[in-house]
Amino acid sequence: MCSRSQRGGEEQHSASAPHACVRVCVCVHADFSLAGAVEYQPLHRDGGFYEGPAQGVTLNFNMVDHTGENGPIRQIPGSHRWDGSPPMPDEEPQYMKYSFVKPLKAGGVIFRDLRCWHGGSPNCSDSTRALPNVEYSPPPASKEEEQSLLQRQSMRTMPFENWLELSETGKHLARFTVLEKDETPPQLFPHEWEGKAIPDRRAQWQQQQQRESLNQTKAAATKAKAKM
């Protein structure tokens, strides 16, 4: 059974709401990779590690085509079974750097276990790669747990007006993510970027790629000489 507290002065579902709550929406976020952002985002997981079946899942909605150039998300197969922390970008094995989820057409959905290691990749295109996501978890097991979820400020990102447009079932499932009626949605970009152009580092990335290619060529030549 699930319940809903007062939100924006309007009472929603009560404890006797007739919804089959197999999962509830606990988080709505806007994942994105800015044009010209050429660094690899460190691999991470969206929750702690535990053994057994998935308790939390994420759906990423593909707003644009995923290509090899516009910062496709990386997903490391099998990492939901690995305890410990993922390596930093300069320590990643090569296959992790190229574990892209691509090609993927706009309109596609990525369904992933919250424990899986994942991260962004360089975006060398001229446009932002948007990949908003919705996280689901089992419904709260007690009233105390539900109140704890309702009080988590970081989870509330859905504007109240958008929440009102959902179906009754949608409102119930998204009750932990809706903002108060007059609450301001969180900012998409950090404060230090307000009114400023996002730095384009593609030239820097191209120079780095050229240096790496040159170093690989030199290493191959040295290795060839050593065999002579």
- Residue 192, Cα to own-chain centre: how many angstroms? 22
Residue 225 lies in a domain: no
Q: Are strands 74-75 and 118-119 parallel, antiparallel or unpaired?
A: antiparallel
Tokens of 14: 């009560």
Match 């079946």 to its residue by tokens. 53
Q: Would residue 223 count as lying in a domain?
A: no
Q: Is residue 206 part of a domain?
A: no
Q: What is the mean pLDDT of the chain?
A: 75
DSSP code string of 72-98? PPEE-TTGGG--SPPPPGGG--HHHHT
166, amino acid identity: L
How many angstroms separate the CA atoms of 76 and 99, rounded?
6
Q: Is 228 inside a domain boundary? A: no
Does residue 224 lie in a domain region? Answer: no
- CATH number for the domain including 79? 2.60.120
CA distances from 41 to 37, 68, 87, 119, 170 (A): 10, 15, 11, 5, 32
Give the pLDDT confidence score for residue 68 in this predicted structure: 86
pLDDT at 8: 36
How far from 223 is each of 38, 216, 219, 226, 227, CA to CA, in Å?
Answer: 30, 10, 6, 5, 7
The pLDDT of 112-117, averaged and rounded, is 91
CB atoms within 10 A of CB 196: 8
pTM above 0.85, yes or no: no
pLDDT at position 80: 93
Neighbouring C-beta atoms of residue 36, cutoff 10 Å: 21
* Residue-range definition of the domain harbouring residue 17: 6-199
Write the DSSP symbol of residue 10: E
Task: Give 33's DSSP letter.
Answer: E
- Is 216 a domain residue? no
Higher pLDDT, 62 or 201: 62
pLDDT digits (tens, 9 = 90+) for 188-214: 444 444 444 444 455 555 566 567 677
According to the model, what pLDDT value does residue 76 have? 94
pLDDT category at 77 given cuts 50, 70, 90 is very high
pLDDT over 90 (residue 150): no
Burial group, residue 217, by CB count within 10 angstroms (0-12, 13-18, 19+): exposed
pLDDT surpassing 80 at residue 228: no
**Within 10 Å of residue 140's Cβ, how many Cβ atoms?**
20
For the chain, the domain total comes to: 1
**CB distance 205 to 124 below 8 Å:** yes
d(CA 180, CA 19): 23
Residue with structure tokens 């995923």? 66
